[in-house]
Structure 1
């Protein structure tokens, strides 16, 4: 049963702080805990989480305590055991979550797991409803923004890939994991002798660790045919046909194998024909494969928006989303830009060239956001820029070439603007070798892709303001790095899109609080130094 927690508002004579030495009490007041209590714990809206509980039964463990502990876990990059130990014996943690007497509340692993499970299951069953974690992130971030006077008019956006709790595995290792999980679900009396050997440690060693590069395909096909035998066995057991193991097995075979009519066995598909959204782990169905630049990874992508105004004392992340990593930057920006505009009223956004598309530029215009690109994909054209042609902005029809020649006739066909020019004029033009024109029997023709026109305009803007834009956008790489190094984003301890989305949201808020707490501590430090004539107290981090 849902019950709001207001107990922390009631003072008690037996609070631990009442028995502290005055010097210890002063150190407590100068630590991060009071800041967390005031700006995070006291501002968590518990009512939003009432949907996770029934109207009857025992009262729930306080939501504001459980959610605050999740934030602290990702702030300090604790494991669950470390979190529970610190909750039991660390007064700073207790103070931060509104508990004033050390040892006044018992916390178990089950309390944490049950709370997380409720959130995961709610988000899975109600994808159309508000993301509870994102809602709290937005609420708390706006509170930080108001208190610190953060300007949100200028922002930068970037994405970074990360892994869930899966291992990097080749096709053979993946095949074994899928096979092992499926065979494990079958009752022992239904297993054939062929399938029983899957449990033998020597079998795993033989097919994975002792596989030579030249034997990879043959070992893979052995596993694929064992998977097929397992699939046929499960199909004869009605209660297993709806199991996760069977669904994963069926998907794996459809993506990785084909039936060879000559040998009457399954053969491995060519690796180039395997789609990027194919199964990457027997234990995480949502993870996908992507190669970005020189880096290839199986997992997910986190897209961030962050303030970047120079006058800000520190920068805050204002928006985040987690998707399968095959989702490109363009699609991410098309979805998130209107949301960022709605939530933060930003006016300028700095992004790299990977986010560029004509549709993105149009969406930015519709939302009254000025986009600044720090670089575009592809090589700079060696010919005359398409901006050298006089092109009507509304109809996109070429009116005049760089040499000043008016076309005989022009129009737009199949995503190209096409113009035909007099043969004699083009043949004698000094710009002929740098022009897009191509000779035909009766005339010369110029064909320019419409996307190239907008790209050329953006490229010219970048060249004019390149250095300033680069410096504004590049710093978000440091935010990505801090999330990975300091808060464990590089490889999460959970699997699945929903769980990764929740955990990434907790880490992003933790990153925001870290910057906010540092700012608030510095502000207190300066105020005390001024009041004491310049002496600087030591603050507890």
Structure 2
């Protein structure tokens, strides 16, 4: 059905029949001291509906009001509601109604279909127009800047961190994944085109036999049996023209190319060695975008969220200023290279605190180009056992070694293939007390020192870190608490959706909800303090 876009200004018109007009004065006072008026004033009234006009037609019935729908999405993630709980609270909770500009309880009906239709329109638009502005990110940035202005938040200093999370998929081994892919593909084939082997796949007992009753020693043979059933299914679908463009067939084809190879001797498919399967291989039959990554001691299938957050000590509270969701195979270095110019443009930040996982020569260069100083709180890898590279006197521009730590001038020095190379007199190095700690290696005619250019920059960064280690760590560490709050309080650990675009939308809503939660707490405390000062005593407790 076609819907015509219209903006919502109805909330600006007052009515004699507003529920608040019939409230007991004490109840009304509690309402005014709750989060709802803050949400209404700083979120609902500041939602820019115009960018969402692209979701609707020029003709048809008027759409359900965008600022109400988007506000409800924020509230859903703020309170971590299910859709059923959200609709129930919209119908019967006056705080929710007040927050979205409705002053008469029960004055507007909302169905699940209306919510789903709004989300679907956003998802489809973002998939079809990846080059266009992300509608959810645009609102996040707009509202966050409003919070920051009202609360006087300084954005010159920020910290950044990434965290992995799962979409709505299960952790599955190769056998379980093979069955899911096979089952979905077989289910798409008309029953009269199925062979006896494939008909068995749809039998519930087949799944139990293959997955739950498989002994560890039988895992490989069961996997190869499923792979060959997948191949049979693939050949069947190839003879059904209307199914060759289906999602099930595309996923089946991808799965077989990643997991199996053809054995000429047995004339059957064999499972590839697990080490030869790429990390961006299919992780779920129902989420093609999820990838596999091992970070430290933690391995997970899903996505990565990269956050930037203010960290100035002058701030009453900190705000998340930027977020991005990517497949979790994307490294921290790539994330920082992409987001640092965006954070700089949007917030005019001057310093960013990150951990060592973000370090690279390219990151340092991009930071210089954007006039941002990046502080690394730790670097990957072990601290060198030998003397630091920085103890050599090295020309800043040419990277040529001018003197060794003992002050010896090289016979000749140059830079070759990403290394700075210097040759020293044999008689000088042979008797040197620093010989065992030095990078020098004996050759026939002299001693040579070869140092990777990346090691030089890494040594400089390590020295900076050691000089300012504690201060940098304390500034960066608190963002771990933000990651934790998003996972514990807003359901980030495992989302209720699948696919990269849906995950981006949901995370954007959660991040704004977290910012509002902090902002509302600040505003309530500020109001409480103002009341206390005006009364010259303790202020009443505010409703949260």
- TM-score, length basis structure 1: 1.00
TM-aligned CA deviation for residue 428 of structure 1: 1.5
SS in 1 for 2:62: coil
TM-aligned CA deviation for residue 540 of structure 1: 1.2
TM-aligned CA deviation for residue 529 of structure 1: 1.4
TM-aligned CA deviation for residue 159 of structure 1: 0.2
Instruction: Provide the C-alpha distance between the structure 1 equivalents of 2:498 and 2:537, rounded to a whole number of angstroms.
Output: 51
SS in 1 for 2:436: helix
Instruction: Provide the C-alpha distance between the structure 1 equivalents of 2:357 and 2:488, rounded to a whole number of angstroms.
Output: 24
Instruction: Provide the C-alpha distance between the structure 2 equivalents of 1:231 and 1:410, rounded to a whole number of angstroms.
Output: 62
SS in 2 for 1:276: coil
1:372-415 CA-partner distances (Å, limit 9, x unpaired):
11100111111110001111111111111111111111111111
TM-aligned CA deviation for residue 536 of structure 1: 2.1
What corresponds to 1:171 in structure 2? 174
1:84-120 CA-partner distances (Å, limit 9, x unpaired):
0000000000000000001111100111101001110
Instruction: Provide the C-alpha distance between the structure 1 equivalents of 2:182 and 2:416, rounded to a whole number of angstroms.
Output: 52
Instruction: Provide the C-alpha distance between the structure 2 equivalents of 1:84 and 1:539, rounded to a whole number of angstroms.
Output: 26
TM-aligned CA deviation for residue 48 of structure 1: 0.8
1:322-378 CA-partner distances (Å, limit 9, x unpaired):
000000000000000010011001111100000000110111111111111110011
What corresponds to 1:112 in structure 2? 115
Mean CA deviation greater in 230-239 or 427-436: 427-436
The yes-or-no answer on 1:416 pairing with 2:419 is: yes
1:442-466 CA-partner distances (Å, limit 9, x unpaired):
1111110111000000000011110
What corresponds to 1:345 in structure 2? 348
What corresponds to 1:503 in structure 2? 506
1:137-168 CA-partner distances (Å, limit 9, x unpaired):
00000000000000101100000000000000
1:13-37 CA-partner distances (Å, limit 9, x unpaired):
1100011011100000000000000
Instruction: Provide the C-alpha distance between the structure 2 equivalents of 1:375 and 1:6, rounded to a whole number of angstroms.
Output: 51
TM-aligned CA deviation for residue 68 of structure 1: 0.3
TM-aligned CA deviation for residue 316 of structure 1: 0.2
1:307-327 CA-partner distances (Å, limit 9, x unpaired):
001110000000000000000
Unaligned runs of 5+ in 2: none
What corresponds to 1:57 in structure 2? 60
1:230-250 CA-partner distances (Å, limit 9, x unpaired):
000000000000000000000
SS in 1 for 2:543: coil
1:170-218 CA-partner distances (Å, limit 9, x unpaired):
0000000000000000000000000000111111011100111111000
TM-aligned CA deviation for residue 534 of structure 1: 1.3
Instruction: Provide the C-alpha distance between the structure 2 equivalents of 1:477 and 1:368, rounded to a whole number of angstroms.
Output: 26
TM-aligned CA deviation for residue 12 of structure 1: 0.5
SS in 2 for 1:434: coil
TM-aligned CA deviation for residue 130 of structure 1: 0.3
Alignment RMSD: 0.6
Q: Among residues 141, 162, 166, which one is paired with 1:159 in the alignment?
A: 162
1:40-95 CA-partner distances (Å, limit 9, x unpaired):
00000000111111100011111000000000000000000000000000000000
SS in 2 for 1:405: coil
What corresponds to 1:370 in structure 2? 373
SS in 2 for 1:157: strand
1:111-133 CA-partner distances (Å, limit 9, x unpaired):
11010011101110000000000
Q: Among residues 521, 525, 530, which one is paired with 1:522 in the alignment?
A: 525
Question: 5 Å matches for 1:111-510?
Answer: 111-510=114-513
Instruction: Provide the C-alpha distance between the structure 1 equivalents of 2:412 and 2:284, rounded to a whole number of angstroms.
Output: 57
SS in 2 for 1:472: helix
Instruction: Provide the C-alpha distance between the structure 1 equivalents of 2:507 and 2:420, rounded to a whole number of angstroms.
Output: 44
Instruction: Provide the C-alpha distance between the structure 2 equivalents of 1:433 and 1:92, rounded to a whole number of angstroms.
Output: 72
Mean CA deviation greater in 509-518 or 195-204: 195-204
Instruction: Provide the C-alpha distance between the structure 2 equivalents of 1:187 and 1:201, rounded to a whole number of angstroms.
Output: 18
TM-aligned CA deviation for residue 533 of structure 1: 2.1
Instruction: Provide the C-alpha distance between the structure 2 equivalents of 1:450 and 1:123, rounded to a whole number of angstroms.
Output: 42
- TM-score, length basis structure 2: 0.99
Instruction: Provide the C-alpha distance between the structure 2 equivalents of 1:426 and 1:400, rounded to a whole number of angstroms.
Output: 13
SS in 2 for 1:432: coil
TM-aligned CA deviation for residue 304 of structure 1: 0.2
Unaligned runs of 5+ in 1: none
Instruction: Provide the C-alpha distance between the structure 1 equivalents of 2:109 and 2:522, rounded to a whole number of angstroms.
Output: 33
TM-aligned CA deviation for residue 429 of structure 1: 1.3
TM-aligned CA deviation for residue 535 of structure 1: 2.5
SS in 1 for 2:381: coil
Instruction: Provide the C-alpha distance between the structure 1 equivalents of 2:179 and 2:542, rounded to a whole number of angstroms.
Output: 53
Runs of 4+ in 1 over 4 A off after TM superposition: none
Instruction: Provide the C-alpha distance between the structure 1 equivalents of 2:457 and 2:214, rounded to a whole number of angstroms.
Output: 51
TM-aligned CA deviation for residue 2 of structure 1: 0.5
1:290-309 CA-partner distances (Å, limit 9, x unpaired):
00001000000000000001
SS in 1 for 2:284: coil
TM-aligned CA deviation for residue 531 of structure 1: 1.7
Instruction: Provide the C-alpha distance between the structure 1 equivalents of 2:105 and 2:416, rounded to a whole number of angstroms.
Output: 75
Number of paired residues?
Answer: 541
Mean CA deviation greater in 246-255 or 199-208: 199-208
Instruction: Provide the C-alpha distance between the structure 2 equivalents of 1:245 and 1:423, rounded to a whole number of angstroms.
Output: 69
